[in-house]
Amino acid sequence: MKPAPVMFHRQPPPAARSRRARPAAFTLIELLVSITFLVILMLVVTQVIGIVQRSWVRANSRVSQFREARRAFDTISRNLSQATLNTYWTTDLQQLSADALGQAIQSPKAYKRQSELHFICGPTSQILPQASGNNYPGHAVFFQAPLGMVRFDTQGTVNTANLTNLLCGRGYFVELGTDAPYRPTFLSQAPYTTIVPVKSRLRLMEYSPTAEMNRIYDSAYRTNPGDIRQWYQNPVSGALATEVQTANDSASSGGRYFTRPIAENILALIISPQLENTGTSGTVAASVYSIAPNYLYDSALVGTATSSTSSQGTQHLLPPLLKVTMIALDERSGDFMSSTLNSAVQSKVLQGLAGLFNSASSYTADLEGTSDSPGALKTLLLGAKLNYRVFTTTIALRQARWSF
């Protein structure tokens, strides 16, 4: 039996063994390709993060801004629903003759409605003569309501717990202006004047004098029917900023008489007094707007007749329904339009708005329009690239008392 052959394996040289044991490495081309893909991926991720961040900032500004607008709109709706005139019947006398002393002898002729209070709404430029130009867009409303607001007593001598139904004046309008009259005093001093600059905005203003300063009963305002409008004329031109200031304060101090902003970036307030809709389902009867066809309603004047036998018309009556609309911009749009760099856009929007909401029957065409054609306001704001939201409600005034 032959022995198994012995196998001899040839060993490679040491240099070859070293090359075979060394692990494979990336070439320069492979590194360049990898780095290129990594850079592209990082760019895509950066862009996505930027888009998400901008969307979050935009959505957050909208939510926060429209939350303020919603709060202000709820305040207006709640206070308007409490508007009152305290209307009552009085005797209309006619003179028969005079007695021997020259005193008039009168006899009752008829009963008529009477009220010492006042309700007025309409285009701001018509009911506030000082509010001229395009800096007061939309409508304004001034009325009396049992809101129970009294002057703050630092001495604690007045118990206000049971004064919640005191009669107060109240008003709302939109104004374009700076916040200089409402800033704390220290912000008018260096270095805060540059750190916190004065900001110009469209603001919803509230005129809210206390019950002690309710000027509706001033006899000087009752000589003529139109004089009664004087009780609310000082929110624009008045000198007093708050109820604790004295009559010695001057208008040069920049103060505003019981007027304060309650919301920023409010483009317009639209108020339409209406009757109940008697049209068929889905339509609006023309008579709905008959008491205020041009949005102007003044309870001190003889308005459109409410019936064929009513000689006073709407005098000393509240409108039964108020359709209230508020147009709010988001913070970015408000800042864009208020910037001095965009004065042309601001002027175009305000001038365009001045030509709208002058006829109540054109409300839909002026606002949103129909499915076939967009509204004039929608076209105007979208053309200016402004983001906005419309708040609308119809308020039934509990003290309207149209049975009078």
Structural domain boundaries in the chain: 47-88+109-396
Q: What are 68-121's pLDDT values in tens digits?
A: 899 999 999 999 999 999 988 888 777 777 777 778 777 778 888 889 999 999
Amino acid at 120: I
pLDDT for the residue 250: 35
Q: What are 262-305's pLDDT values in tens digits?
A: 998 999 999 999 988 765 555 566 688 889 999 999 999 888 87
Q: How far is CA 389 from CA 136, 151, 329, 382, in A?
A: 19, 36, 6, 12
pLDDT surpasses 50 at 248: no
pLDDT for the residue 107: 75
pLDDT confidence tier of residue 308, bands split at 50, 70 and 90: low
pLDDT for the residue 192: 73
Angle, alpha carbons 201-177-202 (nearest 5°): 35
Q: What are 127-173's pLDDT values in tens digits?
A: 988 887 788 999 999 999 998 877 765 555 566 666 778 889 999 99
pLDDT for the residue 41: 92
pLDDT for the residue 241: 39
pLDDT surpasses 90 at 322: yes
Rounded-to-integer distance, Cα 341 and Cα 291, Å: 43
Q: How far is CA 390 from CA 267, 274, 395, in A?
A: 10, 19, 16
Contacts with 150 (C-beta within 8 Å, 6 or more apart), sequence order: 158, 160, 163, 166, 210, 211, 212
Q: Which of 46-60, 177-191, 352-366 has the highest mean pLDDT?
A: 352-366
Handedness of CA 251, 257, 263, 267 (dihedral sign): negative
Beta carbons within 10 angstroms of residue 300's beta carbon: 21
Provide the pairing of β-strand 266-274 with 321-329: antiparallel
Angle, alpha carbons 233-235-238 (nearest 5°): 85
Rounded-to-integer distance, Cα 138 and Cα 135, Å: 10
Is the pLDDT higher at 191 or at 318? 318
pLDDT confidence tier of residue 368, bands split at 50, 70 and 90: confident
pLDDT surpasses 50 at 390: yes
